[in-house]
Chains A and B, each alone.
Chain A
Amino acid sequence: AQSVTQPDIHITVSEGASLELRCNYSYGATPYLFWYVQSPGQGLQLLLKYFSGDTLVQGIKGFEAEFKRSQSSFNLRKPSVHWSDAAEYFCAVGARNTGFQKLVFGTGTRLLVSP
């Protein structure tokens, strides 16, 4: 069964600094990968996704992620963090053999932005 690891529970970044959130997955074939963001008391908003093709994907709000098959990683990056980016970020994987809609989520990384 596939699994997702987000090794950082909390990350604090200064406003204007760059950000990288780590995500590692475990799956034998090509996974379908997602990053979602959740603000307190809210649902999940899609930031970006990778299905196939170019391994560097661009998302909303200036986020990007790179799929590295050799490292089983799909790290999320942003060159300059804004205070409004403070939220919880979830990496998720879907797969053909378990049903595309059955997403497996990581435990999340809570991003704090300091002034």
Chain B
Amino acid sequence: KAGVTQTPRYLIKTRGQQVTLSCSPISGHRSVSWYQQTPGQGLQFLFEYFSETQRNKGNFPGRFSGRQFSNSRSEMNVSTLELGDSALYLCASSHEGGPDTQYFGPGTRLTVL
């Protein structure tokens, strides 16, 4: 099976712009989670989607949003970008919603200038 794929791999944006990142989970996986990784804050959970519904959310401002489509693909959107949003954004998928292994994609490196 193909692994988790994320597009694009790299993005450069300027402050105030918005950005959309995409994640395609492993075939058959219904849960998709997003994480932000920065040198200062480490790996932090953003949100999880399961069967098109946001089931869990981390402590991020409302500028960070996401959605999941019927084929389990997910997108996350960041509006009004700030310099501090520069990070590696990782997507992870798992088969079920219970205790299950999350498989991570390679990430999208976002740089905000």
Binary contact readout B29-61 vs A (1 if CB under 8 angstroms, 0 otherwise) = 001010100000011110010100001101000
Q: How far is A108 from B88 in the complex, measured between Cα atoms in Å?
A: 15
B: contact size bracket: 20 to 34
Contact across chains for B42 and A105 when beta carbons are under 8 A apart: yes
Q: Which secondary structure characterizes the binding site on chain A?
A: strand
CB-contact partner of A99 in B55, B92, B104, B107, under 8 A: B55
Binary contact readout A34-46 vs B (1 if CB under 8 angstroms, 0 otherwise) = 1010000111111
Chain A positions 82-108 with a Cβ under 8 Å from a chain B Cβ = 90, 92, 94, 96, 98-108
A: contact size bracket: 20 to 34
Q: Which secondary structure characterizes the binding site on chain B?
A: strand
* Residue A63 is within 8 A (CB to CB) of chain B in the complex: no
Q: How far is A96 from B100 in the complex, measured between Cα atoms in Å?
A: 11
What residue in chain B is nearest A106 (Cβ atoms)?
A: B42
**Residues of chain A lying within 8 A (CB to CB) of residue B90:** 43-44
What residue in chain A is nearest B49 (Cβ atoms)?
A: A101
CB-contact partner of A51 in B33, B92, B99, under 8 A: B99
Contact across chains for A43 and B97 when beta carbons are under 8 A apart: no
**Residues of chain A lying within 8 A (CB to CB) of residue B48:** 99, 101-102
What are the 5 tightest A-B residue pairs by CB atom distance, in nearest-first order?
A99-B56, A105-B43, A44-B104, A43-B104, A101-B48
